[in-house]
Structures are given as C-alpha cells and as structure tokens.
C-alpha cells in the first residue's frame, strides 16, 4: 500500500542497461540519462566517488585505492553491489527535480537474449534494491525493434541486428516473439581490443582502450573509403617505455577489426539459414535493421547487404532505439504484459 502511494509521485522509467552505456527514459519526459556504465569506488572507504562520464574520465588514471569498474559484462551484471548503486544513482538523479522523497518507479529493463534465470534475477534484484516497486524485463532486440518503429505484433518476419558494447544480438521477430536468434560476445568492446592488439603487434605500441575507441569512432570502417582517413594514435612504446605517437589510416584499422566484423556477418547469414522460409521472404522484402553503437561503423550496412544479399538499413538514432522502445512500452500496458519475461524473483514487493 505504501509503495503504491509512493508510486503515484514517482516517474516510470525505461532503462537500457548496457555494457558500455546506460540510458534512462522517463515517462512523458524522454531520455534524461545517457551515461557510460562506469563507477569509480574508493576501496578504502567503500564510497562511490563518481558514476557515468565523470567515472569514465578516471579510467586508467587512478591511484591504487580508487578503482574504476564496469558492473556489467556482456550485458549481464558482473558486480551486483556496484550495479545496484549505479542504478540507484540514476533513479535518484531523474527524481531530483520532483518532490519525491523516496522514489518507487515502475521500471522496464532490456536484457540480452542469452541470459539465464540467475542473471535475470540479479538484474531484477538490483533494480528492486535500487528503489523500483515493480520490474519488467524485456529482451533487448524486442525493445530495439519497438524503438525502430517496427510492427512487432504483425505476422511478418523482421530481422534486427543490435551491435552493442558487449554483445551483438541477431534476432528474427514475428508476432511479438523471437523466432530464431544468435547472441555473440563480439561487439564494440571486442573491436577496441582488436585495435589495441594491432597497435601492439604492428607498431610495438601499448594503447589504452579509450584511445582505441576514439580511433574506431573517428576512422573505423569496414569497406574502402572514397577519401582515406588518418588519425594520430598515442601510447607507450613497448621497446623504449617512452611516449610515442604514430599516424594510422582507415585501411590499417579495417585490417585490425576485419576478423571480428567477418564473424558478425557470418552469424547473420547463419541465422538466416535456420529461419523459416516464409519469414526469410518477408526479411528479403523489408530488409535487415541495424541498431546499437556498432551499426554506426562506416560501411557496415553495405558490407552486410553485399554478403547476405538482402537490403540493410541503419535505424534512425540507433544508439537510443532500445531505451526508446522501453519508454514506448511504459505507455502500453497490454503489450508490456505480453512481452515481459516471467519474473525470476520469488514473491513481489507490491
């Protein structure tokens, strides 16, 4: 009863709890949080020093007693306590402007396709401990499809490829359900590691992951560019131990990430091979939709289209598709009830 009363003064939230970034959609207000999923902790006092962008700025620059951590690994919680504190921070932040003393929102959270019941329970429990009065878990590709304005309840096949930070999720949807799917641990973070490894092998240069990510964003591509791109890449020389700067080209970065990109394309083709022919016919007509940060890699839609021989397009604002889908579900209780996964937590706090 008390929770319901507090709920009247709380804002319902849609959360895209990503490995790289967490986004929060507030009902009737839109996206109010878009921050890296990073937390900085003082290990001497167990105190949270920073969350989001401020914590990411500390990565690789902290003294021994300050630890920067990402509480999610490949889309699932790897550090329960830190994940709970991060969620609580974001929930309190969006309620700061209102007069809510104890926020008790309803929350819709996206989860990867390949989550176990234990992993789902960890996400539910973290959200409930952070202050939610009710938690609904929905598969992320379904949220991305809603955010991309696809007619998910219709009897037509549609394919969505969500290339995030920790996972790439390939799903064929029809009639409000996932028909065939594959979940890969090769995504944005893996491409960053490929660039770090390439710099080490080719130039004896030790790069930080943030530098590798900046290189990927600025000059990363998967097909040859009309105008060659170059960028300076700074790190530590492994031979001399001194700082070193080299100029890299888009062709070199393409070579660095080529194997991982090829694996993603092969898995898209493998998913199509096990999809019922009626749905494949629909996908051929409607095309494949790309979402997530990885879909912004230059030329990826052309490469997939060429290899799979199917039209491919990137969704409008691909980074926020999943959280916008979660926000849309907050307005549609009937659809939310249909799409929400069975609760992994026993008992309810309502």
Domain boundaries, the chain: 2-34+74-143+321-339, 157-186+268-316, 188-256
Place of tokens 């490949």: 74
CA distances from 304 to 166, 193, 313, 332 (A): 20, 22, 10, 34
CATH of 157-186+268-316, one of 3.20.20.140, 3.30.420.40, 3.40.50.150, 1.10.760.10: 3.30.420.40
Judge whether 67 and 53 are in contact, CB under 8 Å.
Answer: no
Domains 2-34+74-143+321-339 and 157-186+268-316 belong to one CATH topology: yes
Q: What's residue 165's pLDDT?
A: 92
Supply the pTM of this predicted model: 0.90
- Checking phi first, is residue 211 left (phi over 0); if not, alpha (psi -120 to 50) or beta? alpha
Q: What's residue 102's pLDDT?
A: 72
For 188-256, which CATH class?
A: alpha beta
Which residues are within 8 A (CB) of 274 and not within 5 positions of it... i.e. 6 or more apart? 180
pLDDT tens for each residue of 127-149: 999 999 999 999 999 999 999 99
**pLDDT < 70 positions in the chain:** 1-9, 97-101, 345-350
Task: Tell me how far apart the alpha carbons of residues 187 and 74 are, in angstroms, rounded to a whole number.
Answer: 9
Q: What's residue 28's pLDDT?
A: 86
Strands 106-111 and 13-17, by their bridges, are parallel
CA distances from 102 to 4, 50, 108 (A): 12, 22, 19
CATH 3.10.129.10 matches 2-34+74-143+321-339: no
Q: What's residue 120's pLDDT?
A: 92
């Amino acid at each position: 009863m008390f929770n319901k009363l507090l709920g009247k003064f709380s804002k319902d939230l849609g959360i895209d709890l990503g490995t790289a970034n967490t986004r929060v959609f507030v009902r009737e207000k839109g996206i109010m949080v878009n921050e890296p999923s990073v937390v900085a902790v003082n290990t001497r006092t167990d105190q949270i020093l920073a969350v989001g962008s401020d914590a990411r700025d500390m990565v690789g620059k902290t003294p021994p007693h300050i630890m920067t951590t990402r509480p999610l690994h490949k889309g699932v919680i790897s550090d329960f306590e830190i994940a709970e504190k991060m969620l609580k921070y974001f929930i309190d932040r969006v309620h700061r402007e209102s007069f809510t003393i104890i926020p008790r929102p309803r929350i819709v959270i996206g989860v990867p396709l390949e989550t176990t019941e234990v992993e789902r329970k960890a996400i539910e429990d973290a959200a409930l401990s952070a202050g939610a009065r009710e938690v609904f878990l929905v598969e992320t590709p379904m949220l991305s499809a809603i955010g991309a304005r696809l007619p998910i309840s219709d009897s037509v096949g549609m394919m969505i490829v969500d290339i995030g930070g920790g996972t790439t999720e390939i799903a064929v949807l029809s009639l409000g359900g996932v028909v065939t799917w594959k979940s890969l641990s090769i995504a944005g973070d893996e491409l960053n590691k490929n660039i770090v490894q390439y710099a080490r092998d080719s130039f004896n240069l030790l790069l930080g992951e943030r530098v590798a990510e900046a290189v990927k964003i600025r000059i990363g591509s998967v097909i040859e560019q009309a105008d060659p791109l170059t960028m300076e890449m700074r790190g530590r020389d492994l031979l001399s131990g001194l700082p070193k700067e080299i100029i890299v080209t888009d062709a070199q970065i393409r070579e660095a990430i080529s194997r991982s990109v090829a694996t993603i394309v092969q898995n898209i083709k493998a998913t199509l091979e096990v999809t019922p022919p009626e749905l494949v016919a629909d996908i051929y007509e409607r095309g494949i939709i790309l979402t997530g940060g990885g879909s912004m890699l230059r030329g990826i839609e052309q490469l997939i289209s060429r290899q799979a021989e199917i039209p491919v397009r990137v969704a409008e604002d691909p980074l926020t598709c999943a959280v916008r889908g979660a926000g849309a579900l907050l307005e549609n209780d009937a659809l939310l009830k249909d799409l929400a996964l069975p609760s992994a937590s026993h008992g309810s706090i309502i």
